[in-house]
């Protein structure tokens, strides 16, 4: 059976993603990863694709192999698939976090707040079920952890995430 066809089956036809973006995602993710990616909202998908493109540029500048980072970029926000944050939730969370100096974290029993703060860890747990390699899990889990400053790949992922 044509593997590409199976992939296409799981790919929701979405007019806002360009054919070249779709091809890019399909050629960098395996079938399980693609199914997960597909559960992201359209704006999250586009965000992850933009982060991945950005990562390629950064790797070129630093002479690094981009393969794992591309995958990490495409999957870094996968922890958001079960509880989606819309643009209003997100704006609210960013403002509340800034004003409260992180105090908001205490309300992590509220699901949307939990996803906002902990989607890296949630993403790690989701990907672990698919036997993804530890390094990928690590990058996804820590993609917004600014306290780790000696990991070049994580640094690139964080940088590209925050500017897309």
Residues near 99 by Cβ (< 8 Å), separated by ≥ 6?
none
Residue 19 near residue 109, CB atoms below 8 Å: no
CB of 43 to Fe ion, least distance (A): 11
Q: Which positions touch Fe ion (CB under 5 A)? A: 77, 161
CB of 76 to Fe ion, least distance (A): 6
Judged by beta carbon, residue 7 or residue 154, the one nearer Fe ion is: 154
Judged by beta carbon, residue 77 or residue 132, the one nearer Fe ion is: 77
Judged by beta carbon, residue 7 or residue 143, the one nearer Fe ion is: 143
Residues near 111 by Cβ (< 8 Å), separated by ≥ 6?
83
> d(Cα 123, Cα 33) in Å, to the nearest integer?
12
CB of 99 to Fe ion, least distance (A): 20
């Amino acid at each position: 059976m044509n593997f590409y066809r199976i992939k296409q089956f799981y790919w929701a036809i979405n007019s806002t993603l360009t054919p070249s973006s779709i091809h890019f995602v399909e050629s960098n993710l395996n079938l399980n990863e693609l199914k997960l990616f597909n559960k992201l909202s359209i704006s999250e998908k586009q965000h992850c694709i933009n982060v991945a493109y950005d990562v390629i540029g950064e790797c070129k500048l630093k002479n690094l192999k981009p393969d794992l980072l591309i995958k990490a970029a495409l999957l870094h926000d996968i922890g958001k698939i079960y509880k989606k944050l819309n643009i209003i939730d997100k704006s609210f969370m960013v403002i509340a976090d800034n004003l409260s100096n992180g105090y908001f974290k205490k309300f992590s029993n509220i699901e949307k707040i939990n996803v906002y703060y902990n989607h890296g860890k949630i993403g790690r747990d989701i990907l672990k079920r698919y036997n993804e390699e530890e390094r990928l899990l690590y990058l996804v889990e820590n993609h917004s952890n600014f306290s780790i400053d000696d990991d070049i790949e994580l640094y690139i992922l964080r940088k590209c995430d925050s500017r897309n």
